[in-house]
Chain A
């Protein structure tokens, strides 16, 4: 079950990011952002080792338990007249999410965050999800009205992503 799907540009800024629990979207921004370190590391390793092999799938980025540490939300309410600043850090949260990465030949990265409680998901399924995502992304790029580098606002892409999230869950 994919909980978050993100497309990241070559220059490592998000082109598209969508997550299922909408109320805590920022969390996934952090999640995907931090996974980029590993993605970059993997890409550079791939570049050195097997430049010819066209393996786009990067595999598991962070193992299951990774999400143990998460500073929860700083709830900022400081615009109210009294200026109360709620800051909650729930000590160590156990988010059981697994992140998978995929990189296209043009260095556009896909990251899928999966709820790791769903054990039924196999590597093959993840791969096929990425493949679908890649195909859909290619379609977006083929749109003559799309400027490479802009955020993706395609409806078709959007519906594909939502289908992927629903279908997998």
Chain B
């Protein structure tokens, strides 16, 4: 007896062993179908005795083991059922012979036998034989169970007979000595008559009867017999049999205490029995009826004690190893039910050391796996895993010619739970790894290798990826290298993917995304570049805001925890445009990591990910990686994760499973496609960004200009998108308002460009922009001082002086450093091109393209001071400008109606320009609406500005340096005082002499003796009514030497009064006074028209400058006729 039955349990002692075997050729599946039906008859209640007979079926049993049948009767084969196929009557004799041969194998012990013949029909099958049953086919055999029951009953009858036989054999003459196979030779020549020998015979027989009673269902009798056997055998020190008797006692007690059985689910006990009375401490609750019967029964504690004893006796015999081992296993099962793990482990410990001699490899495997199972049964999962692993290793031991890698792999998988390892990487994402790393790593290595050897590289790849993913922190640098190398080796044969691998036994291996190669720290969705960002039309934006809350501001922030990832991001992406997501990654490996096909995983919108390949240096720090893709449809896009391919393993890493990844939201709205413009300019690109770089610019240009210069900037806009450009708007905004700028800085005409719309993809449109810089380089206040010390009176009375140029070189006198004009100024403005088109336009989106214009303005000429001199005519005056050339070049200044002035570098010259006074009333008045809402101060500035620009344009002062030219503006230097002088008085006086309008520098001719009509016309342009006035005309002669002769009564006489009275003149009305003069002599006369304000009643003095009446110069000539006379 060498092969232990590890499945044995205590209650097997009460069963009878029946072997079911095929005879001849029987298809395996058919046999097992029949076998299954036969085994369903595991318990038969005997009709007249209320006893149960339990049957244990085996389809394979070693005759060698049968020899131990006397020792423990449940090891004895008492029944044989043969299954055979017989096609025709001819085969029948042969089949019958075979059956008899088979009977002979177990012949000595068989009580009865049956042959089940399938396929035979006809004459022979008609026979009614008790030991043979005929069935037409394997499918038509309805009464197999019935037959088996009958068979069992017949076995029972034999068993019962034997039992009664032996039991009543007490007084018998000679009791035969029962012995086990290895004992036989020991008893040769022993004195059979000795008392000792007799006792031994008696004891052994008692034990045997006990066994039979137990099998026959007479538990109490069995107990009694066992007790007696123990007594007898103990006295003769027959240890082997004593052990058997004790074990029998234990078995009977166990059967009594645990009617549910001890084998657990493994054995096919009837479920009705499993519900037996079993309380927590293992004793049947129904004590009342069993008190008497329980007398001989062992208590739960005793059972273990007796088992220990029995095992120790077995241990004395080397040949009884199997019996000892099986006893251990049975005891462990009992202890497992009693939940006494510690003691059970001791029994198992013992079982481990039972030496069964040279075991075959297969037996070793069986032994280790049963040990593992038993450890599992008592809750020692680690021990169980340990032995399972040993069994697995045994499967592939080098001594085995054909290693069972498949079995090894299967067993290894079963150990996973013992090492608290789960092959789902999700369990590891929760935090740092905690467990028996060294042991787990080892196990994974073994799994990898076993799966490779069993020819499934896919599994190896999956396990290796798992190893890398979960144990990365625990691997040394060398190991990391090795593991990745072998991973690469494997993936070259079988690339790793994301599908779930299902093993033949149904275990599913979830995919392992390598989210640690590289480790991603944060995911950030990037906005489109400034020039491509879509904006929503203002009017359409409102309904977006309103839904949230009626309050503009609320201190209560609606916290939605855990929804960070689903939070929608403010900005938008555009369909068809490349969008970017930035990942911060790092490489934890000690070598360079190549990541291929790194792309985005998205949902919600059709998305074309453009995978990237990257190479991360060894143990890199955080490394930004930008993944790009193109949304193909509009809607809300959700960035779920990313896709990588590392070492040939492709993985989809979902952000949901990576709590360590920081993200500020992953949902972005994708709007329908918009056109895209590319901008190019004729000017060079600017190297430096604009100073107040609050807003990002798509591009910027810079140019250097002299003050007053105008440059043309040609902007080419090309539609590089796929949509038609339908609308285009251009605006500009100066971003540097510190400098006072005159005139339009940037001006353009959009008409032509707009006329070319819609712009098809690939087409372009040009726009010409004039860049004009006019800055005030003069520093204000010290100029005014200069003006005063010049000694020129600027107050109103007419000084008739010829036009003069005052040449005053004064550059030497001024230190250059303090010169306010030498500083270089910069001007900056942003041009914004707002455009839209395509589907995006329908939704109300547009795009901005902004161009920064940066101009460095160098001073050219500027006016250090300005003053006015009244001109000879009342409607004109002289403007005196000190022009300073701050450039390093010689330049020429010219103005309208004036000669050119050449200025050397750093030279200052005065320039006088005669200008007609300006009538500012003709300027357009600001809109009434605007007036109401604007600050009066602003309004005033506005007015001044328009006046100044009018003056400037009238003057038209330009400068010219070789090839450049530009204009110089006086706007900055004009102050209120000067302006006043340049302004036409609201009261306009016209003097007409002899029908000719007359002014200071016009000499009116008249003839002596003729009456010269004099007409003075007053036009009131002021707001109020003026007058009445009195005007007195005083003639005088100027001798040009400072002497004026007013005593001209003789020379000039008035026809009528020399005083005119002008009544009240209402606004916009005029009044004319007529008079006449008569010159008596020839000569140059001047008429000084003095006036008196009679409107004293109104109490308001009108400024004297309002009465700028021209002095009239009349040359009285000889009348030709009179001269002739």
Binding site for B on A (CB under 8 A): 9, 11-14, 25-26, 29-30, 33-34, 36-38, 41-42, 45, 62-63, 65-66, 68-69, 71, 74, 76, 78-79, 85, 87-89, 149
Contact = CB atoms under 8 A, between A and B. Distances in A.
A88 B398 CA distance: 7
Contacts of B380: 37-38, 41
A146 to B, nearest CB: 15
A38 to B, nearest CB: 7
Interface string B390-428: 100110111000000000000000000001100000000
B504 interface: no
Interface string B1058-1095: 00000000000000000000000000000000000000
A71 B67 CA distance: 35
A38 B449 contact: no
Nearest to A15: B434
A25 B476 CA distance: 15
A6 to B, nearest CB: 10
B439 A30 contact: yes
Contacts of B393: 71, 74, 87, 89
B188 interface: no
Contacts of B342: 38, 41-42, 45
Contacts of A34: 382-383, 386
22 contacts: A13-B436, A29-B438, A30-B386, A33-B382, A34-B383, A34-B386, A37-B382, A38-B345, A38-B380, A41-B345, A41-B379, A41-B380, A42-B342, A45-B342, A65-B349, A66-B349, A71-B389, A76-B446, A78-B486, A79-B485, A89-B393, A89-B397
A42 to B, nearest CB: 7
Contacts of A65: 349, 353
Nearest to A65: B353
Interface in B330-355: 341-342, 345, 349, 352-353
A150 B352 CA distance: 36
Interface residues of B, number: 37
B147 interface: no
Pairs of residues from A and B, 10 with the lowest C-beta to C-beta distance, nearest first: A37-B380, A79-B482, A13-B434, A29-B438, A71-B390, A37-B382, A13-B435, A34-B382, A29-B439, A41-B341
Contacts of B382: 33-34, 36-37
B1017 interface: no
Contacts of B341: 41
Given A37-B382, A89-B393, A25 B438 contact: yes
A27 to B, nearest CB: 10
A68 B445 contact: no
B381 interface: yes
A26 B442 contact: yes
B453 A85 contact: yes
- What's the dominant secondary structure at chain A's contact region? mixed
Given A33-B386, A74-B393, 18 more contacts: A12-B420, A26-B439, A29-B439, A30-B386, A33-B439, A36-B382, A37-B379, A37-B380, A63-B349, A66-B349, A68-B352, A71-B389, A71-B393, A71-B394, A76-B445, A78-B486, A89-B394, A149-B434
A37 B352 contact: no
Contact of B398 (A9, A13, A78, A87): A87
Contacts of B397: 87, 89
Most buried by B among A37, A42, A87: A37
Contacts of B446: 74, 76
B438 A26 contact: yes
A33 B420 CA distance: 11
B389 A37 contact: no
A11 B434 contact: yes
Interface string B706-730: 0000000000000000000000000
A66 B435 CA distance: 24
Given A34-B383, A42-B342, A78 B436 contact: no
A19 to B, nearest CB: 11
B439 A78 contact: no
Interface string B436-455: 11110010011001001100
Contacts of B420: 12
A106 to B, nearest CB: 16
Nearest to A17: B438
A62 B381 CA distance: 16
Nearest to B371: A69
A18 B389 CA distance: 23
A42 B341 CA distance: 10
A68 B349 CA distance: 10
A116 B734 CA distance: 92
A13 to B, nearest CB: 5
A13 B439 CA distance: 11
Contacts of A85: 449, 453
B570 to A, nearest CB: 39
Contacts of A69: 352, 390
A79 B345 CA distance: 39
Contact of B383 (A12, A37, A78, A149): A37
Contact of A79 (B438, B442, B486): B486
A68 B353 contact: yes
A42 B379 CA distance: 13
B190 to A, nearest CB: 37
Nearest to B435: A13
Contact of A78 (B349, B375, B449): B449
A40 B441 CA distance: 24
A29 B396 CA distance: 23
A71 B396 CA distance: 12
Contacts of A76: 445-446, 449
A141 to B, nearest CB: 17
A145 B349 CA distance: 43
B1090 to A, nearest CB: 105
A71 B379 CA distance: 22
A147 to B, nearest CB: 10
A159 B514 CA distance: 39
Nearest to B439: A29
Most buried by A among B352, B382, B394, B420: B382
A103 B408 CA distance: 36
B670 to A, nearest CB: 45
Contacts of B436: 13-14, 29, 33
A62 B352 CA distance: 13
A148 to B, nearest CB: 12
A154 to B, nearest CB: 18
Interface in B580-617: none
Most buried by B among A11, A33, A63, A149: A33
A68 B398 CA distance: 21
Nearest to B349: A66
A139 B284 CA distance: 53
Interface in B367-389: 375, 379-383, 386, 389
Contacts of A87: 393, 396-398
B335 to A, nearest CB: 12
A74 B393 CA distance: 8
Contacts of A9: 434
A9 B349 CA distance: 26
Nearest to A68: B353
B906 to A, nearest CB: 74
A75 to B, nearest CB: 11
A86 B438 CA distance: 19
A14 B386 CA distance: 17
Interface in B473-493: 482, 485-486
B485 to A, nearest CB: 6
A78 B449 CA distance: 8
A89 B395 CA distance: 11
Contacts of A25: 438
A2 B150 CA distance: 67
A8 to B, nearest CB: 9
B476 to A, nearest CB: 13
Nearest to A66: B349
A38 B446 CA distance: 26
Contact of B381 (A30, A37, A63): A37
